[in-house]
Amino acid sequence: QAKRAGRNTVCFFDPQMQAVASANAALAADLRLAWRHQQFELDYQPQVDVNGRMTGAEALLRWQHPQRGRVPPDQFIPTAEETTLILTIGRWVLDRACEQLAAWSRRSDRSHLSISVNVSARQFRHPEFVDEVMDAIARSGVAPNKLKLELTESLLADGFDITVNKMGSLKRMGVALSLDDFGKGYSSLAYLKRLPLDQLKIDREFVKDVLTDANDAAIARTIIGLAQSLHLQVVAEGVETEEQREFLAQHGCDGFQGYLFCRPMSIERLEEFIEANLVQLSPLKLS
Ligand code: C2E
Ligand code: MG
Ligand code: MG
Ligand code: MG
């Protein structure tokens, strides 16, 4: 029947669509419960510089579900974004990250570390977002430049000027701004130069086959070159092998994150790692 009705007609009784909708509704309800029962946790994944020294960590949200176990963020963040729960969770992530930064700031061997926080488009779009960041910083008393917000290109769908203004307010506060998953979205070089950014993150997609796929290698090199010409720091995510790190470093990448150095882990484990100096790898030998 749908075929006969024509291509532009929405078919309301598609059982598959209905199944998806009700699965989403169930997940949304589950997420609200999860929030009430404090089932969310933050893991941290270290970022290192070209010498293998830890410079900071990315906070990564986890859902510890009593039956389903650990649910990865890709499976629940899109649904959380469809509800206002992403705002609540996002605020919590921001507060936790700032508390952690405050704890690190009191220790001379940790006070240089930064924390990167992922911000969803819906959260960024919220009129109170800038104030919330300001409050989280004020409450914790951390140096704003230790907080790095990871934004994605999807923000630009909201309108360029609004986005740039908001980013400008955050920058004036001293917060660092990173463009996450760079290369994956609809990147336009014209807007990139007008965004008040500090960092570009090369998407894992291009890092994965950087040694075997000439196109990925070209893209990675181009992103690094672009970042350098715009005076932005450039970090590669998903670095799993020494060869990948070497390739990226040789082309001028200055930050690295991936299983090669450390998996995302609880703050307790990360503290042990830092204590034992396990994140640190031997300096790269660049000839
Ligand atoms: P992302 O921000 O691009 O984070 C990097 C993802 O790559 C993480 O997945 C991390 O665990 C994974 N990863 C790191 N190193 C490697 C590696 O060497 N190999 C491979 N294969 N993967 C690696 P994760 O933790 O599953 O998070 C997925 C996405 O969920 C994140 O992508 C981010 O977009 C989103 N996310 C995570 N936490 C939050 C949050 O607090 N708020 C919001 N809005 N989004 C979040
Ligand atoms: Mg990220
Ligand atoms: Mg990323
Ligand atoms: Mg990514």
Q: How far is the CA of 280 from the centre of ligand 4 (A)?
A: 23
Report the nearest-CA residue for atom 35 of ligand 1.
Answer: 73
Please name which of 197, 195, 199 lies closest in space to residue 224, comparing C-alpha atoms: 199
Among all bound ligands, the one having the nearest atom to the CA of 91 is 1
pLDDT in tens, 162-210: 999 999 999 999 999 999 999 887 667 778 889 999 999 999 999 999 9
Contact 59, 116 (CB under 8 A): yes
Asked whether the whole model's pTM tops 0.90, one would answer yes
Indicate the top mutation candidate among 41, 48, 60, 148 to test ligand 1's pocket, ranked by most ligand atoms within 8 A of CB.
60
Tell me the H-state helices in 42-110.
73-82, 85-105
Q: How far is the CA of 4 from the centre of ligand 2 (A)?
A: 45
pLDDT in tens, 88-112: 999 999 999 999 999 999 999 999 9
**Tokens 């400008």 label which residue?**
168
Ligand 1 atom with the smallest distance to the CA of 259 is: 18
Report the nearest-CA residue for atom 12 of ligand 1.
Answer: 238
58 in helix, strand or coil? strand
Please name which of 136, 32, 148 lies closest in space to residue 94, comparing C-alpha atoms: 136
Q: How far is the CA of 141 from the centre of ligand 1 (A)?
A: 27
Beta strands in 93-210 (DSSP E): 114-118, 147-151, 176-182, 199-202
**Sign of CA pseudo-dihedral 243, 198, 120, 219:** negative
What six digits make up the tokens of 102? 């405050």
Average pLDDT over residues 110-132: 96
Indicate the top mutation candidate among 237, 240, 257, 281 to test ligand 1's pocket, ranked by most ligand atoms within 8 A of CB.
237
Cα dihedral 61→242→181→271 (10° resolution): 30
pLDDT at site 12 = 60
Q: How far is the CA of 202 from the centre of ligand 1 (A)?
A: 13
Q: How far is the CA of 181 from the centre of ligand 2 (A)?
A: 7
**Ion ligand 3 — residues with CB under 5 Å?**
180-181, 237
Report the nearest-CA residue for atom 44 of ligand 1.
Answer: 120
Ligand 1: residues whose CB is within 6 Å? 45, 60-61, 72-74, 77, 93, 118-120, 150, 180-181, 204, 237-240, 257-259, 264
pLDDT at site 10 = 56
Given a cut of 90, is residue 50 above it in pLDDT?
Answer: yes
pLDDT in tens, 193-252: 899 999 999 999 999 999 999 999 999 999 999 999 999 999 999 999 999 999 999 999
